[in-house]
């Protein structure tokens, strides 16, 4: 059995529009899939860091985690992704830090919708 460690789980999802409802629903979908795929209990989440591309400013992704998933006591931070010309737009990214006995290789990173192009090397084969 692995020793318990803080490990990062990455994920990303795109939205169609810069709209509060779209951002909240997409974030809920993304986090729900990360939790499901990695069998995460909320009490094991150390922190979550969200970034959005420059074309998304209608809502904080962390709001979805608090309102839909009950992450009331999870420390969360939202920021802007570096605006690299020609890269994927309308994208919400997250890194969830969890206390786990799983190894880094056992964790499942989640990329949904248009964000599947970001880290194809981490997607299930």
Q: What is the pLDDT of residues 42-99, one digit of tens each?
A: 999 999 999 999 999 999 999 999 999 999 999 999 999 999 999 999 999 999 999 9
Q: What is the pLDDT of residue 54?
A: 96
**Catalytic residue flag (residue 119):** yes
**Catalytic residue flag (residue 113):** no
* Residue tagged active-site, from 10, 25, 37, 113: 10
For 12-27, the pLDDT digits (tens) are 999 999 999 999 999 9
Q: According to the CATH classification, is domain 5-116 in 3.30.1330.40?
A: yes
**Catalytic residue flag (residue 29):** no
Write a three-state SS string for the chain.
CCCCEEEEEEEEEECCCCCHHHHHHHHHHHHHHHHHHHCCCHHHEEEEEEEECCCCCCCCHHHHHHHHHCCCCCCEEEEECCCCCCCCCCEEEEEEEEEECCCHHHCCCEECHHHHHCCHHHCCC
**Catalytic residue flag (residue 81):** yes
Q: Is the pLDDT of residue 121 over 90?
A: no
């Amino acid at each position: 059995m692995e020793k318990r460690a803080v490990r990062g789980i990455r994920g990303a999802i795109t939205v169609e529009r810069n709209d509060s409802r779209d951002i909240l629903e997409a974030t809920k979908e993304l986090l729900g899939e990360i939790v499901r795929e990695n069998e995460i209990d909320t009490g094991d989440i150390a922190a979550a860091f969200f970034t959005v591309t420059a074309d998304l400013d209608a809502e904080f992704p962390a709001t979805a985690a608090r309102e839909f998933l009950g992450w009331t006591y999870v420390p969360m931070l939202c920021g802007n992704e570096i605006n690299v010309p020609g890269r994927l737009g309308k994208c919400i990214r997250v890194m969830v830090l969890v206390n786990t006995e799983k190894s880094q290789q056992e964790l499942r990173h989640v990329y949904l919708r248009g964000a599947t192009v970001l880290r194809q090397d981490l997607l299930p084969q």
